[in-house]
A and B are shown apart, each in its own frame.
Chain A
């Protein structure tokens, strides 16, 4: 019964990085399993020895040796200091290599598509600068092709996490952070903000849709045909604190919007987009 629950319940792990849908998440999972394996050897002796020792030398067990004045042994000291240190040295080498290999700023091989993400309360704006389109709360990416995501925030600090694709990075106002990832195959995945940012936090989730090359092209054509335009006024409305019931799409974007959002926040601490609108930024 309990076992069934465990097995059935462990299905939830398919939602996370242990069921990767891209090369970065796959490498992360491998590293996770590898460290778990090493650590089992480290924690195993303690987890077994502590209760065993207490039980074996319990007071009622009068046949055991009692050495109240025994409190030091060089060989034991060596055993408890040296092997753990060596394991940490080994893990450190491994950690140094993988932190660089899986650095979120490190570009993936191949021609990456450039996307810019702006964290707003309580929604995500995705701008496709080359394609000149934008979406809100839906990130559409071509499967099998690397994505280079630039992030900033139009409001407080947030953190983007797409568990099956890649780990998180903070989005901070006035700054640009980066994330490189890729989806192996077409599919839909969950994306979320995991840094608390107010009453709409739990609703700030979005769908990541990885489309095949052809489907992605069709999607682009369809979205470009839409009349909505993301200019300063539209951005100001969007940046107000609100949750959206459904994703939005913009057929055109004012050029350089992402850079100006950063610049404006550095200067004025703009929030909720009011300062941007007041300056008439992004007018055609």
Chain B
């Protein structure tokens, strides 16, 4: 066996040319330099983080307290931290995309076409699979068990596996910046363009395995959330006594279970085409790309409601809490949520009205799409009537909710336009479409996620976020959205195609420049979120809310300390009605010690989830570069870990009753000592998390 053979077995198709630094050295164009710079940010960032952790001797702490933790709260926080990192990358890419189009008017601009295509592909893939999905899964993970009076999720270990599979997929996305190149086929990865015949490189493979890991992780998350809500509710918490966020989480979870597998199937069949020479979606030999399109959108359309429903849940909680009023039309909202979940599986074809099917089919799906507008509209009115005769505090989460109601309604307006097939024919694949879904995803989903983050942050960390920076951030997110995407509506109506690296019409320039300003403003919104976090951590001692109810809110999650103990509830609460904690406060039933304190059994830390996630990422990397030994070894590790875990008997730990009682009594003492704050003063330092309520 000679040298090159050994290297090929060891390293597969990896070569020096895979490194962006080498490519930039060989061809020092702006485009390659940007690629190399992005690669170096990843490398330097990773090295810096590793060095910092070593210097701070934080490895053991991180491993035992976080990475191996099966605590739903910590897993939720890790999900959201991952989302924050990925949001930063994808938003920088968005600014680059806008810069390119604004500068490349009859000019080459910053990046060359292949690089531009990678930018929009990673931007979309990350924002959906590695920003939005982890963010909402993290919120649900953190909040739902607390809201239903449970100590953890139904399957804590599966929860950890799901997290680390998602992290593994995200790691593949980051590695693709440093080694090789990513797909150019857009976030939907349509074949035959992504087939071997047209894209022989590693890009589509990176996309396939990153998305596959994410979709498997999300399927497990869906199963876990649904089972948690089915089986883990506190005694007395009937279906119609669940907080609205639980309802939307449940519907999202059910949709995840049904919608994620088609995606997994689609990406795996595409992989079969690329790796095994099969012909599921190729041109010729019986392949048919239309099957892929159907499978992808059979996932893709429910996906947008998977994304939006938890945000709807957040708005329901936020609007009710900051209006000091019960949610208007609870039953209506439940029915509307369930209706949206069902209808969302009946509209996927509107993503390809232009594929040449008959007018009957297009019209049927167009009408189904419009029908979803009814329950969605009902929800928005329900939130408006929740504010009616309330006492509204315009805190940052509330401002985001109001901005959402207006922005999302505009998005619904353009949604009805796109749901009309004859109009879709002229607007599909143009910037109008891009503007529409960003209108829904930023104005609907992202505002909701940020509102939820700000709303529950004091619960998770025990101190309030800085209000001033919160407002600045909200202004940036709202103004940035309108500046960035209203021009795209105009350009789309003028026929400008999406995903063009160069623009040939100088009349588009002013609109593209406004959109660029908008993208920069959105980026400023993200920066101000980070500043807010920094300032809040710096001033945390002044803003502590240890008693745990800073907003005089209604759900059970506010009835425990902030941050909550690992076991959540000293004794599992009994629920007599909707908004249980609110009524307990009014009826002098809150902040009492338990009758008896018992030992509490909790899931023990486990490294299995981390091992499976790391091995899955390594498997993906091996498959991307055809390093077969690595792929096989990693699969073997996953297999062995799964089997070994199933034989482990010692998987729980006991929290002694004395520990629970000591913690609880100390917290109750804090509650007694705290000064109840009226709503007018909730943003001041005297807010210790004990609300002054009016009977």
Contact = CB atoms under 8 A, between A and B. Distances in A.
B238 interface: no
Interface stretch (A109-117, A136-144, A208-216, A266-274): A266-274
B493 A51 contact: no
Contacts of A72: 328-331
Contact of B417 (A8, A36, A196, A197): A36
Given A80-B378, A170-B354, A70 B389 contact: yes
B285 A268 contact: yes
A67 interface: yes
Nearest to B330: A71
Contact of A198 (B193, B386, B495): B193
B502 A202 contact: yes
Contacts of B332: 77, 80-81
Given A13-B494, A57-B323, A192-B495, A201 B420 contact: no
Contact of A59 (B285, B393, B495): B393
B279 A13 contact: no
B382 A32 contact: no
B392 A157 contact: no
A25 B498 CA distance: 20
Contacts of A59: 391-393, 679-680
Contacts of B352: 170
A266 B288 CA distance: 9
18 contacts: A12-B505, A31-B423, A43-B410, A57-B387, A58-B391, A68-B324, A77-B332, A91-B420, A96-B367, A159-B429, A161-B426, A198-B184, A199-B112, A199-B117, A201-B501, A202-B502, A265-B284, A268-B284
Report whether over half of chain B's contact residues are helix, strand or loop; otherwise say mixed. Answer: helix
B283 interface: yes
Given A76-B329, A100-B363, A172-B289, 5 more contacts: A39-B413, A53-B384, A80-B377, A80-B381, A157-B192
A202 B500 contact: yes
A257 interface: no
A246 interface: no
Given A50-B405, A57-B391, A9 B490 contact: yes
Given A84-B377, A168-B354, A265-B283, A196 B499 contact: yes
Nearest to A275: B284
B197 A271 contact: yes
Contacts of B565: none
B270 to A, nearest CB: 14
Contacts, number: 320
A169 B354 contact: yes
B490 A57 contact: no
B422 A102 contact: yes
Given A35-B416, A43-B410, A81 B495 contact: no
Contacts of B362: 99, 103
A196 B356 CA distance: 18
Contact of A25 (B282, B330, B426): B426
A47 interface: yes
Contacts of A28: 422-423, 425-426
Contacts of B184: 196, 198-199
Interface stretch (B82-90, B506-514, B609-617, B644-652): B506-514
A202 B330 contact: no
Contact of A167 (B282, B425, B490): B425
A67 B507 contact: no
Given A43-B412, A100-B363, A201 B499 contact: yes
A99 B363 contact: yes
Interface in A1-57: 5, 8-18, 25, 27-28, 31-32, 35-36, 39, 42-43, 46-47, 49-51, 53-55, 57
Interface residues of B, number: 104
B373 A84 contact: yes
Interface residues of A, number: 103
A88 interface: yes
A199 to B, nearest CB: 4
Nearest to B326: A71
A76 B352 CA distance: 37
Contacts of B185: 196
Contacts of A18: 493
Contacts of A175: 356
A16 B492 CA distance: 8
B540 interface: no
A25 B192 CA distance: 30
Contacts of A13: 490, 493-494
A9 B387 contact: no
Interface in B381-427: 381-394, 398, 402, 405-406, 409-410, 412-413, 416-417, 419-426
B491 interface: yes
Interface of A: 5, 8-18, 25, 27-28, 31-32, 35-36, 39, 42-43, 46-47, 49-51, 53-55, 57-59, 64-73, 76-77, 79-81, 84-85, 88, 91-92, 95-96, 98-106, 155-157, 159, 161, 163-164, 166-170, 172-175, 177-178, 190, 192-203, 205, 265-271
A196 B186 contact: yes
B283 A53 contact: no
B370 interface: yes
A161 B495 contact: yes
Interface string B80-115: 000000000000000000000000000000001110
Nearest to B387: A53
B604 interface: no
A177 B356 contact: yes
Contacts of A101: 422
A104 B358 CA distance: 9
Contacts of A168: 354, 425-426, 428-429
A64 B390 CA distance: 9
A181 to B, nearest CB: 11
Contacts of B38: none
A158 to B, nearest CB: 9
A79 B381 CA distance: 10
Given A35-B423, A167-B426, A202-B501, A85 B192 contact: no
A267 B679 contact: no
Contacts of B602: none
A190 B495 contact: yes
A64 B392 CA distance: 11
For the complex of A and B, list the 10 residue pairs with the smallest distance between their C-beta atoms, beginning with the closest.
A167-B425, A269-B284, A163-B495, A194-B429, A102-B422, A177-B356, A269-B283, A50-B405, A103-B359, A199-B113
A6 B229 CA distance: 51
A196 B354 contact: no
B370 A92 contact: yes
Given A39-B416, A161-B429, A194 B498 contact: yes
B198 interface: yes
A98 B384 contact: no
A190 B332 CA distance: 49
A95 B366 contact: yes
Highest count of chain B CB atoms <10 Å: which of A42, A68, A161? A68
A268 B429 CA distance: 29
A155 B363 contact: no
Interface in B282-314: 282-285, 287, 289-290
A71 B330 CA distance: 8
Interface string B318-329: 000001111111
